[in-house]
Amino acid sequence: MNWFARLPAQSRGIIFMLISVTVFSSQDMVAKMLGQRVDVAQVLWSRYGGQLIVLIIIFAPRLRTALRTEHPVLQVLRGLMQLSAAACFFTALQTQGLGEATAVANLAPVLITLGAALLLGEAVGPRRIAGIVAALIGAMIIIRPGADVFSLASLLPLGTAVSLAGYAISTRYIGLKESPLTGLLYSGLICTGVMTLIVPFRWVTPDAHAIALMSIIGLLGTVGQLMMIRAYAVAEASAVAPFSYAGLLAASGWGYLAFGDVPDGPTISGALVIVAAGLYVWQRERQRGATPSVPPEEMGQP
C-alpha cells in the first residue's frame, strides 16, 4: 500500500469517499434482499446490532472515554433520527428501486441547509434558496404526486431525507466537541435497543440465506461509516463532499445487477436536478466559508 500513502491527501480522501458510498450502496442492496425474506424490523436490528458489535470489538480500549457526552439528550435524538431514516429507506426499498430511493434521499444536504437556517439561525441567501427549491422540484419529478405510479410509499425516501437532516442539524449543534466515535456508539446503542424491543413482535424465522445477509449488513454499514470518517480526516471537506453523489451511480448499478432495476426517464431527470441543486448549494456554502452541512460520520446515510 506504499503507492496509496504516496498519493496526495486530496486523492486519498476522494478514494475513501468512493469506497464509502459504494459500500453503503451495497448495504442497501443487502437490505433490499433481506427485506424480501424477513421483516424490516429484523433488517434494522441486524444493521445496528452489527454496527454495535463491530465498534465494540474495534474500539474496546476506548469505549469508556468514547461514551462520555455532554449532550445525552441530543445523542438520543440523533440516534432516533438515524433509526427513522433507516426505517423509511429500508421500507421504501421493498417497493422501489435502489437508484430511485437513493435519488430522493439525496435531498438531505439541501434540507440540512434549510433546517440550519430555520432552527440555528444560519443565513441563507436567495441563490441557495433557489437551489433548495430546485432540489425539491427534482424530488417531485421522481415521486410524481397525482400520477398513476404514485403511492404513499413513494414518500418514504423523502422521510429518510428529512430524518437525516434532523440528525445532521443535531450534530451541527453539538459541533466538533465530541468524537465521531461517540455518535456512532450512541447510534448503535439506541437503534439496537429500540429494535430489540420491537423485533420479537415482528420476528420471521430466517433461512440460511437470510442469516448470512443479517450477519453482514451491520459490517457493511460500519465499514462505510468508517471510510467516510477517514475521507474527511485526510482531505478537506470541499474536496471530497461532491463525490458523495457517486453513491447514486453505485446504487443504480447495484439495483440493475441484483434486481434488474432500470431507472425510467422521470427518475433520471429528477435525480440530475437533485444532484445539480445539491452541488450548487454546496458550492455556495463553500464560497461563504460555511462549515460542512453534513457530519462526516453520517453524510446522507441511514
Quick: pLDDT tens for 86-96: 999 999 999 99
**Per-residue model confidence as pLDDT tens digits over 157-192:** 999 999 988 888 887 777 667 778 888 899 899 999
- DSSP annotation of 289 reads T
Integer Cα distance of 47 and 41 in angstroms: 10
**What is the sign, positive or negative, of the torsion defined by CA atoms of 36, 84, 46, 20?**
positive
**Domain range list for the chain:** 11-294
Q: Which comes out higher in pLDDT, residue 61 or 44?
A: 44
CB 18 within 8 A of CB 246: yes
Tell me the whole-structure pTM to 2 decimals.
0.91
Residue identified by cell 424480501 is 36
Instruction: With H, G, I as helix, E, B as strand and everything else as coil, classify residue 97.
Output: coil
CB 80 within 8 A of CB 194: yes
Least confident of 14-28, 135-149, 234-248, 251-265: 135-149
